[in-house]
Amino acid sequence: MPLLDGDDDLWLRRFDGAPPDGVRLVCFPHAGGSASYWFTLSRLLRLEVVAVQYPGRQERRREPLIDTITELSDRVFEVIDRLPPRPTAFLGHSMGAVVAFEVAERLTRAHGTGPEHLFVSGRRGPTVHRAGTVHLQDDTRLVAELRGVGGTDPRFFDDPELLETILPVTRNDYRAVETHHWVPGPPLDCPITALVGDHDPQTSVDDARAWSAHTTGEFGLRVFPGGHFYLDAHRPAVAETITVALAGARTPLTFEEAAS
């Protein structure tokens, strides 16, 4: 059953098995990623899990890509703001963490409060800015970047037709996040939990800890063994972290620990 009517429903994928009440978790994919990335994690959560589907991929592959975080966040906010009322938390990985944060800021400006909880994975806090040039590289170097960070099925690299479909989308998303500059504003009021791999080449533990400056609520940091896509190997632990945090939405959560 669609969550929303008309074009709005193109933006969201709801996975089966959600309980009839409780917190809704909206998941935001990484650069080059799609809603289906979150399916496996959703099976470990007794939540209504809704994944955002950006234009230009999978069943939306014929739609124009959106090449700025600002426009993408505006569009996603408009859709999420029309969802049926229910306590809602956000989870974003890498570029998805940036979009989730920007949408949370828009919700706060519109309604005076943000989501129940914001989970930011594999991404440095907004105040930690580094210039990125991956989107300017040729295809060979872009493929090398994707091989290095993981998260892409290795079979794609040996199939020219598949590469032809994923490289423009990935380059577009890298352009969006690498050229994005956060506009300083008031901190959120919801708890933020940052998750990061201890060998992530894109986000150090200190980079992830910088998210603590962006909330007046509680902050938690959990460090996992692994690189940028640590969560592929640690989905049960990630699911446990989310479940524990949301068991008492808007209640104190304070931890800073390494996960095994």
Residues annotated as catalytic (active site), given as ranges: 94
Element (H, E) at 211: none
Three-state DSSP at 14 gives strand
User: Which DSSP symbol is given to 62?
Assistant: T
How far is residue 63's CA from residue 79's CA, in Å, rounded to a whole number? 17
Q: What are phi and psi of 177, to 5 degrees?
A: -80, -30
Pairing outcome for strands 118-121 and 88-93: parallel
Three-class SS of 103-148? HHHHHHHHHCCCCCCEEEECCCCCCCCCCCCHHHCCHHHHHHHHHH
102 token code pair: 């920007």
- The alpha carbon of residue 173 and the mean position of all alpha carbons in its chain are separated, in whole angstroms, by 13
Query: Whats the size of the chain, residue-wise?
Result: 260
User: Which DSSP symbol is given to 72?
Assistant: H
Q: Which residue has the tokens 């906010």?
A: 77
Count the Cβ atoms, other than its own, within 10 Å of residue 140: 8
Give the closest residue to 208 by CA, choosing from 108, 132, 106, 94.
Answer: 94
